[in-house]
Amino acid sequence: MSFDPELAHLGVYDARAPRYTSYPTAVHFHTDVGAEFSMSQIRALPVDKPVSIYVHIPFCERLCWFCACRTQGTKNKSAIAHYLNVLLREIEMVRAALPAGITIGKIHWGGGTPTILSPDQIRLLSLALQKMAPRHENFEFSVEIDPTLVSAAKINALAEMGMTRASIGVQDFDPNVQAAIGRKQSIETTLACVKMLRRANIHSLNMDILYGLPHQTVETVNATIDTVLGLSPDRIALYGYAHVPWMAKRQKLIPDDALPSGQNRRELFDVMAAKLESAHYAPIGIDHFAKADDAMHIAAKAGKLRRNFQGYTTDDLDTLIGLGASAISKFPNGFAQNAAKSADYAEAISKGKLATYRGIATTQRDRMIARLIEMIMCDFRADFAALANEYACEMTILAKPILQLQRDFGRYIKFSVDGFEIIHHQRALARIIARRFDVYSDDVENRFSSVS
């Protein structure tokens, strides 16, 4: 993303915008949406379309300072066992409500640290999920793995239960950077984890790396990328660190003055991206890279890349049922989020009700704009003809933002009768352009991360 003075003048590099892993974004969820909404959505799911399942395990043994995920630090095995029992009860409630004949296309375990579960707990949870509904023929099962909290027995249990993809958190291998973000993880530990996964025949690996961390330099990020390339993951997510200590309290432990400036962040991303591309990883969307034969690259080339709460995905299923504390469900007609605190979540489930505490019911116009934003974030283009075909709703709402885009970013976007394509500085502009179509967008700017 080479520097452009005109974009700098327009404030693009300093702008903050949602990452648009959903539309409307979660800041617009409200408490009018509760358990009744979720239950009615689950009961009405069409049986001819498989559903995805997300399972949230909120516990971590270590609490990394940079992390803004919903996590709870614990080494208390009985707290984890209690949570698992609640989760099993929630799974049974959803199973009982699912229409007969529905299948499960994908399951993802995230957190937190799913590998905090013991091998027996992994089997118990997986078997309960298997009983919910039969697996679709193209079934995938992915799990977020913490290399510092995993063992061959846990990986073997996951493989036995059908795990097809592992996502490994790396962030950065430099010891100074790791010390500044409160996350120690040696190269040897990560390598041992990769070897265990390969031995268990899990060959589809994703690695998460961060740029914009304290003390990162061109030299340190080059070294991290070299090590990551040596581990040969299929996909790499290269996320910008979002420093929002007013929202994620642990980030107060990270010294502001050790963070790279906006211009340095761009330089770090460019260096890492160039290195990945020269190693034949194709850029995908704003922050992913994948090998040529990886399903994500194939989906992106075919215009079938999608975006959900986990970021970019090949999951094109309309429904994602979120299970566990703070998990978000995406239904055909809206979003619903479970109570964020484990105690509140457990209390709701103990009363025999789903734990939904907020969400939003969407209109056809919302769903049309959601798809438009997804096109911009995934393909850097908009296809109005396809939108008009798929969503029978009023499109005049798009006229004003289109005129504004022509005025502000005319030389970066190619317009046609049927849509537009971002032709320059796609990464910098995608979230800003997407936001122009966001009718919920308001003054909550400081909740969002920098676009560069």
Among 39, 63, 223, 244, binds ligand SF4 (CB under 6 A): 63
- 54 is annotated as contributing to ligand binding: yes
- 61 is annotated as contributing to ligand binding: no
Per CB under 6 A, contacts with ligand SF4 among 33-62 are 60, 62
- 393 is annotated as contributing to ligand binding: no
Number of H helices, E strands in the chain: 15, 21
Among 24, 105, 111, 260, binds ligand SF4 (CB under 6 A): 111
Instruction: Kindly determine how many residues on this chain lie close enough to bind ligand SF4 according to the rule CB under 6 A.
Output: 12
CB of 414 to ligand SF4, least distance (A): 39
Q: How many residues in total does the chain contain?
A: 452
**Stretch touching ligand SF4 by CB under 6 A, among 46-54, 64-72, 251-259, 315-323:** 64-72
Residue type for position 407: R
CB of 70 to ligand SF4, least distance (A): 9
- Rounded to whole angstroms, the Cα distance separating 364 from 360 reads 13
Q: Is residue 253 close enough to count as binding ligand SF4 by CB under 6 A?
A: no
What residues does 334 pair with on adjacent strands? 331, 361
CB of 67 to ligand SF4, least distance (A): 3
Q: Is residue 208 close enough to count as binding ligand SF4 by CB under 6 A?
A: no
- 363 is annotated as contributing to ligand binding: no
- 59 is annotated as contributing to ligand binding: no
Write phi, then psi, for 10 (nearest 5 degrees): -80, 0
- 135 is annotated as contributing to ligand binding: no
Q: Is residue 361 close enough to count as binding ligand SF4 by CB under 6 A?
A: no
- 113 is annotated as contributing to ligand binding: yes
Q: Which residues of 366-401 are buried (b: 16+ CB within 10 A; e: fewer)?
A: bbbbbbbbbbbbbbbbbbbeebeeebeeeeeebeeb
DSSP per-residue string spanning 134-150: PEEEEEEEEEEE-GGG-
DSSP per-residue string spanning 283-295: EETTTEEE-TTSH
**Stretch touching ligand SF4 by CB under 6 A, among 1-9, 45-53, 107-115, 233-241:** 107-115
Nearest alpha-carbon partner for 26 in 360, 304, 275: 360
**Stretch touching ligand SF4 by CB under 6 A, among 29-37, 110-118, 131-139, 257-265:** 110-118
Lookup: tokens for 322: 């979120």
- 144 is annotated as contributing to ligand binding: yes
CB of 146 to ligand SF4, least distance (A): 5
- Rounded to whole angstroms, the Cα distance separating 396 from 399 reads 5
* Closest CB to ligand SF4 among residues 62, 304: 62
- 328 is annotated as contributing to ligand binding: yes
Tell me the C-alpha to C-alpha distance, in Å, between residue 113 and each of 70, 75, 120, 285, 433: 11, 12, 16, 26, 34
- 169 is annotated as contributing to ligand binding: no
Nearest alpha-carbon partner for 207 in 224, 183, 182: 224
Lookup: tokens for 127: 């078997």
Neighbours of 417 (CB within 10 A): 6
**Stretch touching ligand SF4 by CB under 6 A, among 38-46, 108-116, 301-309, 397-405:** 108-116
CA dihedral 41, 46, 49, 52 (to 10 degrees): 20
- 23 is annotated as contributing to ligand binding: no
Q: Is residue 64 close enough to count as binding ligand SF4 by CB under 6 A?
A: yes
Among 67, 129, 163, 336, binds ligand SF4 (CB under 6 A): 67
CB of 61 to ligand SF4, least distance (A): 8
- Rounded to whole angstroms, the Cα distance separating 305 from 68 reads 25
CB of 113 to ligand SF4, least distance (A): 5
Among 42, 140, 145, 146, binds ligand SF4 (CB under 6 A): 146
The 166-195 contact track toward ligand SF4, x by CB under 6 A, reads ---x--------------------------
Are the C-beta atoms of residues 290 and 276 closer than 8 Å to each other? no
Write phi, then psi, for 397 (nearest 5 degrees): -60, -20
What is the DSSP secondary structure assignment for residue 22, as one 8-state letter?
Answer: S
Return binding residues for [4Fe-4S] cluster: 60, 64, 67
Return binding residues: 54, 60, 64, 66-68, 111-113, 144, 171, 183, 208, 242, 328
Site residues (CB under 6 A) for ligand SF4? 60, 62-64, 67, 69, 71, 111-113, 146, 169
Return binding residues for S-adenosyl-L-methionine: 54, 66-68, 111-113, 144, 171, 183, 208, 242, 328
